[in-house]
C-alpha cells in the first residue's frame, strides 16, 4: 500500500541519520526535502534563525504548537540546557506517531513530551497536567488561524511571564495576518520580524519574534 510523506521522511532519517545524533536527523530531513519531496518543516534557513533565538533565550521550559514530524522539535531540543523541558502539541495522530519515532531516533525522548490533541484544549491544562508555571519560549507552527486565539489563551491562563518569547513561523507564507496585526500593535509585546524564505523555496517568509512585556 502507498506510504505517506511523513513515513518516507522517517525512512530517510532511519537510513541517513545516526541514532542519538540530533543534528544528523535535522540534516537528513533537510536533504530529503531538498532532493526528494517538499515538506512543511521550518527548514534549514529559518532553522538557523530558530537556533539563534533558542540559544539566546536558553529556555528551561518550551512549548511548541505543531510538531508535524518533529524536525523543529529535535532542532530546538538539541540546543536546550540539561534539565530543560519541551512540550510539543500535535493534533494529527499520524504526524504524532511519526514524530515520536523521529524524536526517539535523535535520542531526545527524555527532553521532549509530545502531547496529542488540540492547542485550545491543552493550553488551559498545562499547569495542572505538566506542572508548568510559565513558558520561557513558545514556537508557533500549527494552524495559522490558531496563532492569535492561542496567544490570547496563553495570556489568560497565565502561561506567559515578563520576558517570555513567542516565535511564530509562516507569518508571510501562508501568513498569519490577524496574529501579526495584534502582536505588532499590542502594548504588551515588543516584536521583531526576521525576514527569510519559505522552507526549501525562494518565496518570502519569515519568523516573528515577540517579547511579552507583562
Ligand atoms: O499550515 C502549516 N502548518 C500547520 C499544519 C498544517 C497541516 C496540519 C497540521 C496539523 N497539526 C496541528 C494542527 C492543529 C494544532 N493545534 N495544536 C497543535 C496542532 C497541530 C498543522 C504550514 C503550511 C506551510 C505551507 C504550505 C503550503 C504552501 F504552499 C506554503 C506554505 C508551511 C509551513 O511551514 C507550515 O507550518
Ligand atoms: Mg511552519
Q: pLDDT tens for residues 150-208? A: 999 999 999 999 999 999 999 999 999 999 999 999 999 999 999 999 999 999 999 99
State pLDDT tens for residues 2-24. 999 999 999 999 999 999 999 99
Smallest CA-to-CA distance from 64 within 154, 1, 133, 184 is with 154
Burial status of residue 92 (CB atoms within 10 A of its CB: 0-12, 13-18, 19 or more): middle
CA distance 127 to 157: 9
> How high does pLDDT run on average in the chain?
98
3-state secondary structure of 18: coil
Q: Which ligand is nearest to the CA of 173?
A: 1
Q: Which atom of ligand 1 is the closest one to the Cα of 146?
A: 16
- 103-125 tens-digit pLDDT: 999 999 999 999 999 999 999 99
What ipTM was predicted for this assembly?
0.99
Residue with cell 530531513: 29
Whether 185 is catalytic is no
Q: Which bound ligand lies closest to the C-alpha atom of 117?
A: 1
Amino acid at each position: 500500500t502507498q506510504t505517506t510523506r511523513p513515513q518516507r521522511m522517517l525512512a530517510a532519517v532511519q537510513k541517513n541519520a545516526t541514532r542519538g545524533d540530533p543534528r544528523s536527523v535535522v540534516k537528513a530531513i533537510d536533504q530529503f526535502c531538498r532532493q526528494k519531496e517538499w515538506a512543511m518543516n521550518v527548514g534549514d534557513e529559518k532553522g538557523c534563525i530558530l537556533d539563534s533565538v533558542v540559544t539566546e533565550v536558553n529556555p528551561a521550559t518550551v512549548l511548541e504548537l505543531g510538531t508535524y514530524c518533529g524536525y523543529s522539535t529535535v532542532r530546538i531540543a538539541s540546543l536546550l540546557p540539561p534539565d530543560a523541558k519541551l512540550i510539543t502539541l500535535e493534533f494529527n495522530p499520524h504526524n504524532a506517531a511519526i514524530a515520536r519515532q523521529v524524536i526517539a531516533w535523535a535520542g531526545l525522548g527524555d527532553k521532549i513530551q509530545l502531547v496529542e490533541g488540540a492547542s485550545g484544549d491543552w493550553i488551559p491544562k498545562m499547569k495542572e497536567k505538566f506542572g508548568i508555571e510559565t513558558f520561557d519560549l513558545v514556537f508557533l507552527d500549527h494552524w495559522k488561524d490558531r496563532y492569535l486565539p492561542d496567544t490570547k489563551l496563553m495570556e489568560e491562563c497565565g502561561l506567559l511571564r515578563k520576558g517570555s518569547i513567542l516565535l511564530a513561523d509562516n507569518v508571510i507564507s501562508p501568513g498569519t495576518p490577524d496574529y501579526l496585526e495584534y502582536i505588532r500593535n499590542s502594548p504588551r509585546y515588543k516584536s521583531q520580524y526576521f525576514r527569510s524564505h519559505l522552507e526549501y523555496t525562494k518565496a518570502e517568509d519569515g519568523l516573528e519574534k515577540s517579547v511579552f512585556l507583562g
